[in-house]
Amino acid sequence: TEIDWKAYMQEVEGVANGTLDYTQLKGDTGPLVYPAGFVYIFLGLYYATGRGANIRLAQYLFAGLYLLNLLLVFRIYCRTNKVPPYVFFFMCCASYRIHSIFVLRLFNDPVAVAILFLAINLFLEERWSWGCLLFSLAVSVKMNILLFAPGLLFLLLQRFGLLGCIPKLCICALLQVILGLPFLLVNPVGYLTRSFDLGRQFQFKWTVNWRFLPEEVFQNRAFHAALLLIHLAGLGLFALHRWHRSKESILALLKDPAKRKHPSPPLTIVFVLFSSNFLGVCCSRSLHYQFYVWYFHTLPYLLWCTPTAKLAHMPKVLLLGVIELCWNTYPSTVCSSLSLHICHGLVLLQLWYGTAPPPALHTPPPSRRPAAISKKAQ
């Protein structure tokens, strides 16, 4: 329970002592590899818990965060009106792993995800500037939030066009600069390479999703490149054929919305963001146990956002149960990791086929034969 919390406290203790060189900040589990938002939030927890000594108080604070996170998720689900009420029981009570991630292990992942769900609530309220600010704050806590970024970029282009979305992107970038400025002024290269290291290697012993592979394949750069290509291809297919619903080319998104010939039908913001993240999870180079919170609260929507017959509810509940079982198998096994990929594949298939646009109705051309003249008309 204390391993990661102690490492976090050791990492921010250096900042508390005046060290702003990111390459000098480290803990028992290794160097600090999270952006500046993480430092500020956990530095606040460092002081609130007596320099990290009062772990019980930290757990109470994270229990409050857990309840707040559920409230934000429920608000999103109430707006979408897709998921049957009984599924919320599984979201609240049935996941030992999620409770552990929040309240026992005190990871930074739930902090980032809670801020993200607050941003999505703002997007649903059409408060895009504030939503982008909170989205960027979530990224500054942990980079996995970037898996939502392709979907967010699509939504911004669809809503504002190219010129209109640039100010929103500037909000995201400016916050990152402001948060990282104290560290950028001391060692800019060290900060950028440590906090935004996209090529970081993961340890095979912690992987949940690739246990069935030999370790040399898991660590191979060619395998990582293949996963990246599959991820980009999946995003492209969803953007072209599932997110984009207008009759115009997808390049019309670059135009001002007022100048488009065919207005786009209303987009489901939640579907675009959640599916964008899920594609990234499926193609992740490695999933560790705390990463389950990246997409756990999105799974009910992904499963029930498509039309569901009465008898089809039980297989979806079963799918949630199998995914939960895979994440609760410690250490992961060949069977658990394969099962997780199969479940992810089934979710992707039902997303692809369940959200396909209806076939266009081709009306027969009007007959050229002259209409018969009635006897009364004659």
pLDDT digits (tens, 9 = 90+) for 20-50: 999 999 988 889 999 999 999 999 999 999 9
The mean per-residue pLDDT over the stretch 339-358 comes to 91
Tokens representing residue 309 in the block: 């017959």
Total residue count of the chain as it appears in this document: 378
Residue partners of 279: CB distance under 8 A and separation at least 6 = 147, 231, 234, 235, 238, 348
SS3 361: coil
pTM (global) more than 0.75 = yes
Closest CA to 325 of 312, 311, 338: 338
Q: Among 64-68, 83-87, 129-133, 353-357, which stretch is predicted with the lowest mean pLDDT?
A: 353-357
Tokens standing for residue 258: 């007022």
102-136, pLDDT tens digit by residue? Answer: 999 999 999 999 999 999 999 999 999 999 999 99
At residue 235, does pLDDT exceed 60?
yes
Neighbour tally for 200: CB within 10 Å? 12
The pLDDT score that the predictor gives to residue 267 is 64
Average pLDDT, the chain: 90
Question: Is the predicted pLDDT of residue 99 greater than 50, yes or no?
Answer: yes
DSSP 290: G
Task: Check whether 372 has a pLDDT greater than 50.
Answer: no
Q: Fill in the amino acid letter for 113.
A: V
Between CA 21 and CA 9 the distance in angstroms is 16
Query: What is the band of 266 on the pLDDT scale with cuts at 50, 70, 90?
Result: low
- What is the Cα–Cα distance from 365 to 355, expressed in whole angstroms? 30
Sign of CA pseudo-dihedral 129, 135, 138, 139: negative
Amino acid at 131: G
Rg (CA), the chain: 24
If you average pLDDT over residues 243-248, what whole number do you get?
Answer: 82
As a whole number of Å, the end-to-end CA separation of the chain is 95
Instruction: Express each pLDDT in 77-87 by its tens digit.
Output: 999 988 998 88
| Of 186 and 266, more confident | 186
Closest CA to 291 of 218, 209, 230, 234: 209
Identify the residue whose tokens are 């039902």: 350
- Residue 174 — pLDDT band, cuts 50, 70, 90? very high
What pLDDT score does 48 carry? 97
Share of the chain above pLDDT 90, in %: 75
Q: Which amino acid is at 326?
A: C
- In this predicted structure, what is the pLDDT of residue 252? 83
Q: What's the pLDDT score for residue 249?
A: 84
pLDDT at 89: 87
**pLDDT confidence of residue 356:** 78
Name which residue leads in pLDDT, 309 or 92: 92
| Residue type for position 247 | K
